[in-house]
Amino acid sequence: MRHYFSILLLCLTVVVSAQIRKYSNEFLNIGVGARALGMSNANITSVEGVNAGYWNPAGLLKQKSDLEVGLMHAEYFAGIAKYDYVGVSKRIDSLSVAGISLVRFGVDNIPNTLDLVDANGNVDYNRISTFNAVDFAAILSYARKIPQLKGFDVGGNFKIIRRKLGQFGGAWGFGLDLGTMYNYKNWKFAAMARDITGTFNAWSYNISDKDIATFQQTGNEIPTSSIEVTAPKLILGGARTFLFWKDKISVLGEVNLINSFDGKRNTVIKTNLWSLEPAFGAEIGYKGFVYLRGGIGNIQKQLNDKATQYITTLQPNFGVGIKYKIFSLDYALTDIGDRSIALYSNIFSLKIDFNKSMIK
């Protein structure tokens, strides 16, 4: 009995010491694949193949090839921040698919000016060094059809997160996602539960006494080891495709409802515990070869320039794509989230299907 009480006490200590962060692991909310980005990330229902490992692992079952590879590179803030993604998915059998997605967001060569001024108060620019701030995630995915539940596909993710601030500190994190898709006549529905158990990041720091003294002299906060928790998020989606002109033209529309549970956000609907933000995406295709895409997302409530009233703001995105044989090349013109024209980025991604004729 004493052992059970000790274990319970340890668990309670971990939970109490952990801090739920509203914007924890935000690099995992950017998105992968120019198709999804061009549709303002309204994508959890219509995503198919390798990129589904990130968006909704149940969509891995939609791939018709034996093996798929996805690649993307993006740069933000005039190349200061670099964002990279590579994904691979492999069909195990007719009922299951497995995949892995690697995501990296990094700012490299950041100046370290802690030693800029020596003990005598002299400024020496040769004492400036550099470090990197890197966020990395490996997402292991598995999806399986359930024959007893006709029309349902399910999938899950196990996420390993590594965040590092040069030589000063870093964190290891782990989390779980669960996704499902359901087809009903001409409609498709999906649900994606991210961080369903809360994703825990354990931060630790390695700061010298000299650096601590510098922080104290300059009025900076001294970081301490802690546990950071990413709260669960539930995304619901619905989509439908319409065919025209002897099925040569396809028109897809999708809506996603992003539900967060980490406190009040500046979204369309918000409470102290729950906030909801919609996203809309559309895709027009011709003969399954060329695609035109658009979307509206990041719909928020914010104060106007005079801070006198709240106004609704939104972010439009645009994209195109070409699919030829085993290659899919997609392009998106998308913002990083503040709706500033100056910060719109050109995103390209590539997907390659191998042994495409394996599954009919």
Dist. CA 58–CA 330, nearest whole Å: 22
In a domain, 241, yes or no: yes
| Alpha carbon distance 298, 339 (integer Å) | 9
% of the chain with per-residue pLDDT over 70:
91
Asked if 111 contacts 132 with a C-beta cutoff of 8 angstroms, the reply is: no
d(C-alpha 49, C-alpha 42), whole Å: 16
pLDDT > 50? residue 13: no
95 in Cβ contact with 76 (< 8 Å): no
pLDDT given at position 356: 61
So what's the pLDDT on residue 336?
Answer: 63
Residue 342 has pLDDT above 80, yes or no: no
Asked which of 37-46, 120-129, 178-187, 213-222 is least confident by mean pLDDT, the reply is 213-222
Tell me the CATH number at 321.
Answer: 2.40.160.40
- Kindly tell me if the per-residue pLDDT of 15 is higher than 70: no
User: Six-digit token pair at 13?
Assistant: 């200590």
The amino acid sitting at 134 is V
What was the pLDDT predicted at 55?
A: 98
The predicted structure's pLDDT at residue 257: 97
Structure tokens at 205: 């720091």
pLDDT surpasses 80 at 139: yes
Q: Does residue 8 lie in a domain region?
A: no
287: in domain: yes
Does residue 3 sit within a domain?
no
Instruction: Enumerate residues 6+ apart whose C-beta is below 8 A from 43.
Output: 31, 33, 35, 36, 55, 237, 254, 256, 281
Residues 6 or more apart in contact with residue 117 via CB below 8 angstroms: 123, 124
Query: Whole-angstrom Cα distance, residue 194 to residue 222?
Result: 31
Report the range of poorest mean pLDDT among 21-30, 54-63, 153-162: 21-30
Tell me the C-alpha to C-alpha distance, in Å, between residue 136 and each of 19, 52, 120, 148, 183.
21, 18, 40, 37, 34
Q: Is residue 242 part of a domain?
A: yes
Residue pair 132/108 in contact by the 8 Å Cβ criterion: yes
SS3 55: helix
Which amino acid is it at 117? V
Percent of the chain as helix, strand, coil, to the nearest 5: 15, 55, 30
The answer to whether position 6 is within a domain reads no
pLDDT band at 16 (very low <50, low <70, confident <90, very high): very low
Position 17 pLDDT exceeds 60: no
Q: Write down the residue that tokens 């967060």 correspond to.
A: 260
Q: Are 99 and 57 contacting, i.e. CB atoms less than 8 angstroms apart?
A: yes
Provide mean pLDDT across the span 300-319: 83
Strand partners, 86: 71, 102
- pLDDT for res 303: 76
Q: Which of 290, 295, 322 is CA-nearest to residue 239?
A: 295
CA distances from 115 to 214, 222, 291 (A): 9, 17, 53
The most distant pair of C-alpha atoms in the chain lies apart, rounded to whole Å, by 81
Q: What's the pLDDT at 285?
A: 97
pLDDT tens track for 167-204: 889 999 999 999 999 998 889 999 999 999 899 899 99
Residue 357: the pLDDT is 52
**Residue 7: inside a domain, yes or no?**
no
Question: Residue 193's closest CA among 210, 179, 209?
Answer: 179
pLDDT at 135 over 50: yes
pLDDT, one tens digit per residue, over 73-84 is 998 877 788 999
pLDDT for the residue 99: 98
For residue 70, the model assigns a pLDDT of 97
CA dihedral sign, ordered 346, 352, 356, 359? negative
Residue 72 lies in a domain: yes
- The pLDDT-based confidence of 314 (bands split at 50, 70, 90) is confident
What is the residue range of 192's domain? 20-358
Q: Look at 36 and 209; give whichever has higher pLDDT.
A: 36
Domain count, the chain: 1
